[in-house]
């Protein structure tokens, strides 16, 4: 007998629409306060302007909230969408869901692109997106059954708290003997007790006979989900998905282009990054070799022990086998560790399967904390997922607390006795367990870097100026795990990103720093226009970006613009055209993204953000804060002062050189902002102009009124 109870409290039967050219043409609305369930139509203009995926999320969210809405208000919505291309099994990387909400960390829109089967199953069940408002005080499970054409809400008692067990139980409960038909979205106790809770999206692995997980990590979407009293969101659909399921406009054309890309990846991945074997772990030593792997709260970019966390180790630790987070993907990079035995916490001494780690988790929960033991990283990865915590924010927030501890800004009296120094593996694990329990110093770390800075200042008397420089957040979101000190373009990639410093908008470090492809401000600005736009397009369509530029054609370097991998961009245009019937060229894809991107910037403005002042960076992202950092790379920094700035630094103390360098680099970043704003069609304040919104077709009356009220006149 199960120890849990699911009691049906509301059912909504519906007639499943036929999928037409990648769209279900309706969205699902759930209000957990009133238990209202409804289907809303998707209009032609909605598809034309917002395309799908993140675009639909933003439009639904825009209409759901007011400028005064806060993350934990009932009207804040969690929106999850697929996209018109999502769910195509033949084309690599085509199973993504995009989750969006008002973030508890930033106060404005956050979006997260995640694998697993939920998004495609939701769409094939008849809904391009789900929008969840309201709050339940009882704890509910929402269930979308596309096979039986019903949406149900259950009150739930006795369900496990952690995401691993919960998904396992709910998969078995709803599967009717076919677990591959089920995808579960859930948070966990850490999501409830911190501001950076993630969502776990499951996919069933028939070979290993278990639910596997991918995470919508950034910005606390799991925290909002948990705050709504939603324990899980479950979709059921027939796993016999084919290229026909999306009812593409031109099936033969789709088959042709899908085969080209899929075959190329199968041939070239083994010769290139081996993602089907080692995921993204190859990045660890490469970043370390180029002084780009963050260690010790972004003080440094390399460490002699970093190879302990590299691909050579994970090549041995990952369980071999097919690890595609969507059906038929030939990148198949979602690897995991079998029979791992945690040393701490509720799973101590029990064998578990760990989904991951990927590069970001290795860097965030490893090198950033001064931890170079792969087993500790795996254990942190496991508990973050089980508790519903974003490994990036956990890492970056804990690293900040560790540096504050080492600097004496906080003491054991504040940490509950934890010696929170870099490299303390037991302390790092304990912080994560405390986050899940909502107690101790871990609860405070779980509020994120921005709030920690405020609390440490007000309650512990810590120096706010020091913390402003070393607290690695922008817009309230913790940095993801790349060093940006020597790449002005990547400083822009982080600082100008709409949701905060996450690398999915622009990852320009190698192009800028290693290849020096963009020496001028105008070239950097062009890159900070094109790359965020193209990367945005993947989230509009329900796609993963990895097939685009992580496995590239052998003749790519001889093309006019190798960084853009235009052969693949052309294939994506073919892909979009063949599914939707909307004939599109590469420039059209950029134009689609531009509309949604600018709309999101304006959404930020509406929520009280989205201006030049909000594109600020902590100085550690720009240059060396401490004498230790400067002197560790003194030759590099001295050279910049003498060769670039033509300064005579003879006899100058390090502190003075740091100040000179800072003045120069901060000015460079401001100049970059000017160039990027101009390229994007924004004012000097970083607001889209009226001409820009008019050109992009997002000149809705409410948008125009907002821009005018914000001082935009042309």
Instruction: Confirm if 661 and 631 have CB atoms less than 8 A apart.
Output: no
Residue nearer to another protein on the CB measure, 504 or 629: 504
Is 266 a binding residue for another protein by CB under 8 A? The answer is no
Distance CA 676, CA 413 (A): 46
Task: Give the shortest CB-183-to-another protein separation in angstroms.
Answer: 27
Minimum CB–partner distance for residue 75 and another protein (Å): 35
Distant-in-sequence, close-in-space partners of 254: CB < 8 Å, separation ≥ 6: 88, 90, 91, 243, 248, 575, 578, 579
- For residue 531, state whether it binds another protein (rule: CB under 8 A): yes
Tokens of 332: 């198949």
CB of 292 or CB of 707, closer to another protein: 292
Number of residues that bind another protein (CB under 8 A): 33
- The correct pick among 331, 394, 552, 625 for binding another protein (CB under 8 A) is 552
Q: At what angle do helices 54-64 and 586-606 cross, to 10 degrees?
A: 20
Q: Is residue 572 within the footprint of another protein (CB under 8 A)?
A: no
Q: Which of 504, 583, 492, 502 is nearest to 537 (CA)?
A: 504
Out of 303, 453, 503, 665, the only residue in the binding site for another protein (CB under 8 A) is 503
Binding to another protein by residue 273, rule CB under 8 A?
yes
Nearer Cβ to another protein (385/481): 481
Least separation in angstroms between residue 553's CB and another protein is: 9
Distances (CA, A) of 533 to 16, 50, 474, 592, 595: 34, 13, 20, 8, 9
20, β-bridge pairs: 23
Nearer to another protein, 177 or 560 (CB): 560
Residue numbers 309-348 binding another protein by CB under 8 A: 310-312, 315
Is 593 a residue that touches another protein (CB under 8 A)? no
Angle at the Cα of 473 from the Cα atoms of 468 and 475, rounded to 5 degrees? 105
**515 touches another protein by CB under 8 A:** yes
Q: Which residues contact 638 (CB under 8 A, 6 or more apart)?
A: 649, 657
Unique residue bearing structure tokens 């690897």? 335
CB under 8 A: which stretch of 158-166, 305-313, 399-407, 655-663 binds another protein? 305-313
- By the 10 Å C-beta count (0-12 exposed, 13-18 middle, 19+ buried), 111 is classed as buried
CB of 208 to another protein, least distance (A): 24
Q: Contacting another protein (CB under 8 A), which of 40, 290, 591, 633?
A: 290
**Would the CA dihedral through 695, 698, 704, 708 be positive or negative?**
negative
CB of 488 to another protein, least distance (A): 16
Is residue 286 within the footprint of another protein (CB under 8 A)? yes
| Distance of closest approach, residue 613 Cβ to another protein, in angstroms | 27
Decide if residue 562 touches another protein (CB under 8 A).
yes
Give the Cα separation of 361 and 381 in Å (integer).
7
- Report the nearest approach of another protein to the CB of residue 610 (Å): 24
Beta-strand pair 210-216/199-205: antiparallel
Q: Note whether 88 binds another protein by CB under 8 A.
A: no
d(CA 561, CA 188) in angstroms, rounded, equals 44
DSSP class of residue 249? S
- By beta-carbon proximity to another protein, the closer residue of 273 and 692 is 273
With contacts defined by CB under 8 A, name the span among 28-36, 142-150, 306-314, 332-340 that binds another protein.
306-314
> Does 422 engage in binding with another protein (CB under 8 A)?
no
Which of these, 182, 93, 193, lies nearest to 141 by C-alpha position?
A: 182
Residue among 491, 493, 490 at smallest CA distance from 510: 490
Q: Is 455 in the site for another protein (CB under 8 A)?
A: no
Return the range that interacts with another protein (CB under 8 A); candidates 36-44, 144-152, 280-288, 417-425: 280-288
Asked whether position 289 contacts another protein by CB under 8 A, the answer is: yes
Cis peptide upstream of residue 588 (ω within 30 degrees of 0): no
Q: Report the nearest approach of another protein to the CB of residue 504 (Å).
A: 8
CA contacts within 13 A on the Cβ side of 496 = 34
**Footprint of another protein on residues 479-498 (CB under 8 A)?**
482
CA–CA separation, 530 and 515 (whole Å): 18
- Cβ distance to another protein smaller for residue 32 or 275: 275
Binding site for another protein (CB under 8 A): 271-274, 282-283, 285-286, 289-290, 310-312, 315, 482, 503, 507-511, 514-515, 531, 549-550, 552, 554, 556-557, 562-563, 565
């Amino acid at each position: 007998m199960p120890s849990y109870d699911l009691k049906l409290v509301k059912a909504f039967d519906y007639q499943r629409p036929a999928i037409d050219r990648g769209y279900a043409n309706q969205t699902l609305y759930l209000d957990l306060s009133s238990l209202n369930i409804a289907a809303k139509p998707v209009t032609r203009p909605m598809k034309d302007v917002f395309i799908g995926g993140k675009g639909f999320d933003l439009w639904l969210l825009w209409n759901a909230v007011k400028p005064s809405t806060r993350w934990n208000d009932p009207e804040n919505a969690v929106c999850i969408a697929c996209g018109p291309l999502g769910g195509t099994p033949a084309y690599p990387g085509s199973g993504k869901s995009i989750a969006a909400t008002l973030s508890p960390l930033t106060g404005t829109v956050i979006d997260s692109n995640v694998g697993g089967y939920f998004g495609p199953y939701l769409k094939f069940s008849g809904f391009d997106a789900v929008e969840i408002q309201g709050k339940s005080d009882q704890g509910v499970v929402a269930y979308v059954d596309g096979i039986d054409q019903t949406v149900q809400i259950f009150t739930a008692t006795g369900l496990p708290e952690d995401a691993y067990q919960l998904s396992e139980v709910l998969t078995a409960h709803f599967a009717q003997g076919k677990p591959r038909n089920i995808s579960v979205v859930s948070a966990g106790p850490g999501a409830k007790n911190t501001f950076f809770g993630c969502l776990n999206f499951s996919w069933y692995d028939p070979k290993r006979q278990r639910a596997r997980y991918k995470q919508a990590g950034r910005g606390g979407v799991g925290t909002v989900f948990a705050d709504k009293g939603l324990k899980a969101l479950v979709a059921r659909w027939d796993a016999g998905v084919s290229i026909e399921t999306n009812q593409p406009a031109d099936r033969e054309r789709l088959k042709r282009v899908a085969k080209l890309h899929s075959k190329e990846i199968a041939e070239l991945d083994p010769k290139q990054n081996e993602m089907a074997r080692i995921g993204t772990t190859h990045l660890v030593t490469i970043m370390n070799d180029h002084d780009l792997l963050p260690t010790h709260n972004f003080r440094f970019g390399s460490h002699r022990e970093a190879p302990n966390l590299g691909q050579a180790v994970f090549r041995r630790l990952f369980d071999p086998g097919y690890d595609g987070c969507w059906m038929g993907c030939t990148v198949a990079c979602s690897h995991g560790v079998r029979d791992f035995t945690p040393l701490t916490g509720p799973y101590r001494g029990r064998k578990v399967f760990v989904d991951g780690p990927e590069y970001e988790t290795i860097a965030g929960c490893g090198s950033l904390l001064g931890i170079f033991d792969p087993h500790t990283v795996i254990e942190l990865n496991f508990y973050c997922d089980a508790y519903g915590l974003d490994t990036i924010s956990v890492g970056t927030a804990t690293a900040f607390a560790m540096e504050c501890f080492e600097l004496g800004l906080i003491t054991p009296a504040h940490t509950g006795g934890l010696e929170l120094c870099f490299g303390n593996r037991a302390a790092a694990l304990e912080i994560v367990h405390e986050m899940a329990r909502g107690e101790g110093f871990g609860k405070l770390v779980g509020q994120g870097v921005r709030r920690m800075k405020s609390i440490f200042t007000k309650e512990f008397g810590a120096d706010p100026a020091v913390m402003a420089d070393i607290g690695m957040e922008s817009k309230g979101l913790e940095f993801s795990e790349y060093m940006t000190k020597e790449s002005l373009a990547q400083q822009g990639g982080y600082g100008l990103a709409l949701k905060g410093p996450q690398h999915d908008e622009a990852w320009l470090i190698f192009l800028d720093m290693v290849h020096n492809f963009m020496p001028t401000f105008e070239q950097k600005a062009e890159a900070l226009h094109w790359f965020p736009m193209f990367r945005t397009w993947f989230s509009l369509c329900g796609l993963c970006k990895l097939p685009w530029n992580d496995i590239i054609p052998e003749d790519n370097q001889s093309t006019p613009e190798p960084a853009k991998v235009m052969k693949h961009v052309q294939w994506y245009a073919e892909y979009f055209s063949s599914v939707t019937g909307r004939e599109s060229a590469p420039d059209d894809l950029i134009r689609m993204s531009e509309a949604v991107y600018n709309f999101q910037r304006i959404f930020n403005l509406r929520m009280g953000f989205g201006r030049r002042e909000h594109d600020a960076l902590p100085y550690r992202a720009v240059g060396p804060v401490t004498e230790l950092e400067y002197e560790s790379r003194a030759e590099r920094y001295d050279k910049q002062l003498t060769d670039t700035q033509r300064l005579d630094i003879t006899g100058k103390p390090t502190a003075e050189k740091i100040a000179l360098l800072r003045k120069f680099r901060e000015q460079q970043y401001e100049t970059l902002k000017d160039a990027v704003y101009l390229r994007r069609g924004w004012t000097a304040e970083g607001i889209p102009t009226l001409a820009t919104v008019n050109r992009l077709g997002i000149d809705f009356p409410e948008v125009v009124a907002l821009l005018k009220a914000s001082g935009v006149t042309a």
